[in-house]
Amino acid sequence: MAEKKYGHFDDANREYVITDPQTPWPWINYLGNEDFFSLISNTAGGYSFYKDAKFRRITRYRYNGVPMDNGGRYFYIKDGDTVWNPGWKPCKTPLDSYECRHGMNYTRITGSKNGVEASVLFFVPLHTWAEVQKMTLKNQSQETKTLKVFSFAEWCLWNAATDMDRTCRLERLPQPQLLLVGS
């Protein structure tokens, strides 16, 4: 199969495979069920919403934002002094390998750096109001690794127009490890 500049179709797996994260525009996959939806780009940008993309937005996304396609759901991996993302953005640390597979109601983004491979599967289960993000880490080097892994999501919490003023409140509830986020 002929490889295009940024990727190719994998007919056997019914996926579009992106092999270069630096596409001219975000290449988006639509994940969802009857009520809950997520749009995800080849670099893990995008947003999620419940029933209505304008009035019930969950995570933030600015269509005309600069830089383009920032905001989304990211995983940061710290390996020694190197910090990187499996989907390349937002750190833009050069990766040793990168692949994004957009399939039917799922996206898998895999990146590697310094002997560590991180693969993140994003999908929206049927009949569930949630986006699942499952990350698998593999040490492909011969040395023992000590990694720090952090996740990030930028909240919008309902009205996209109101969200433009960037007002958000955060409250810690008495139960341990529970935060209430609202706008």
% the chain with pLDDT above 70: 83
What is the model's pLDDT at position 160? Answer: 74
Tens-digit pLDDT profile for residues 14-28 = 999 999 999 998 999
* Mean predicted confidence (pLDDT) in 129-158: 93
Weakest-pLDDT range from 62-76, 116-130, 135-149: 62-76
Measured between its terminal Cα atoms, the distance across the chain in Å is: 49
Taking the C-alpha atoms of residue 104 and residue 136, their distance in angstroms, rounded to an integer, is: 20
Q: 3-class DSSP state for residue 163?
A: helix
Mean pLDDT over each residue of the chain, to the nearest integer: 88
Q: Where are the domains of the chain?
A: 7-182
The arrangement of secondary structure in 7-182, i.e. its CATH architecture, is Distorted Sandwich (2.70)
* pLDDT per position as a tens digit, 1-55: 555 689 999 999 999 999 999 999 899 999 999 999 999 999 999 999 999 988 8
- Cβ atoms of 182 and 155 within 8 Å: the answer is no
Q: Provide the β-strand partners of residue 100.
A: 18, 109
Whose CA is closest to 22, among 73, 75, 69? 69
DSSP symbol at 44: S
pTM of the predicted model as reported, rounded to 2 decimal places:
0.86
* Tally of residues, the chain: 183
